[in-house]
Amino acid sequence: MKLIHALPAAAALAFISSSALAAGDPAAGAKVFMKCRACHQIGPGAKNGVGPDMNGLDGRKVGTAAGYSYSEAMKNAGFTWDQKNFEEYITSPKAKVPGNKMPFAGLPNATDRENVWAYISEFKADGSKK
């Protein structure tokens, strides 16, 4: 009898988990990230360049990548990177954080934003994949 009750719960959990994983395509996001590579690095050995490295971005407070010289606007932005904040920011960096020094105009396509977040959020702070 207990097994009968556990099966719907397990099925619901499996559906929720697979839905969360389907939120973006990391492989497609890696291709979109090519637009970012002129300024940002990610993965093993990534370093700050024109922009900060993207390793460990998910859950990191804005303006806190070690060794990077942020604008006052980014230091004082007061949010933590997650999918919602990232997608708002990358849609129009100057609108989300007025006064930041990122010259990128933004990614207008919602699917590109979702996919690049799926790619970036795969990386831990040390550059390895989760």
Per-residue pLDDT reduced to its tens digit, 55-64:
999 999 999 9
Place of tokens 């004082």: 76
Tokens read off for 15: 């559906």
Contact 48, 65 (CB under 8 A): yes
Question: Which domains can be identified in the chain, with CATH numbers?
Answer: 24-120 (1.10.760.10)
pLDDT tier, 79 (very low <50, low <70, confident <90, very high otherwise): very high
Q: Quick one: pLDDT at residue 8? A: 46
Give this prediction's pTM. 0.81
What percent of the chain is predicted at pLDDT more than 90? Answer: 82
User: How much is the average pLDDT of 96-105?
Assistant: 95
What is the radius of gyration, based on Cα positions, of the chain? 17
Q: Which residue has the higher pLDDT, 3 or 41?
A: 41
7: phi then psi, degrees, rounded to nearest 5: -60, -45
